[in-house]
């Protein structure tokens, strides 16, 4: 019975270690942020991650993203999170198309300071890369509207840098 428990504990440890979250290093590429038409938020309203256990980080596979509201206010998100994808090529950021198709149902992301996974949002993006046989560094932005009572919604954004390999 002790050997069986040891094997089960080892299997559980392996399974849990594969679910480590990759938050993306903002220092991955020390190059200017692409012009996205709005100022990137310096405050933290949303946290964007690409969990390792959900992703292969291969150029020809979709990327699963998890979005968490770390503000104290609700955030309204479009179904596609208004996601914008940029590829770093020739010393500049080039925007590429997201090939994923979404339904048209916006939803509200509740504040989630204590990390309740049931309050997080999940989406998939599929970058239309120029050449799937090459390694690419990409930056994915997601946008939402922070709801302030009696005020215009404030646009908030978060981004993640990822390395995709063939």
Give residue 113's pLDDT: 77
Cα 151 to Cα 40, 107, 108, 118, 145, distances in angstroms: 20, 19, 17, 28, 11
- Assess whether pLDDT exceeds 50 at residue 144: yes
- Supply the CATH classification number for the domain 21-164: 2.60.40
Domain ranges for the chain, please list them: 21-164
Residue 128 has pLDDT above 90, yes or no: yes
Structure confidence at residue 101 (pLDDT): 87
Report, as an integer, the average pLDDT of 9-24.
46
**pLDDT for residue 34:** 63
The single residue listed with the structure tokens 């992703």 is 55
- Residue 85 tokens, joined: 């994808």
pLDDT of residue 29: 52
Tell me the average pLDDT across 30-51.
69
Residue 9 has pLDDT above 80, yes or no: no
Mean of per-residue pLDDT scores for the chain: 79
């Amino acid at each position: 019975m002790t050997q069986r428990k040891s094997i089960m504990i080892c299997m559980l440890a392996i399974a849990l270690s594969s679910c480590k979250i990759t938050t993306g290093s903002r220092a991955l590429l020390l190059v200017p942020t692409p012009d996205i038409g709005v100022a990137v938020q310096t405050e933290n309203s949303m946290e964007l991650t690409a969990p390792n256990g959900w992703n292969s980080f291969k150029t020809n596979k979709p990327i699963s993203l998890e979005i968490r509201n770390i503000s104290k206010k609700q955030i309204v998100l479009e179904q596609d999170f208004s996601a914008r994808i940029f590829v770093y090529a020739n010393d500049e950021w080039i925007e590429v198309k997201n090939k994923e198709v979404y339904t048209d149902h916006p939803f509200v992301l509740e504040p989630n300071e204590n990390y309740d996974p049931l309050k997080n949002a999940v989406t998939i993006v599929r970058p239309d890369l120029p050449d799937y046989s090459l390694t690419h560094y990409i930056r994915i932005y997601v946008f939402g509207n922070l709801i302030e009572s009696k005020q215009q919604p404030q646009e908030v954004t978060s981004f993640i840098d990822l390395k995709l390999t063939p």
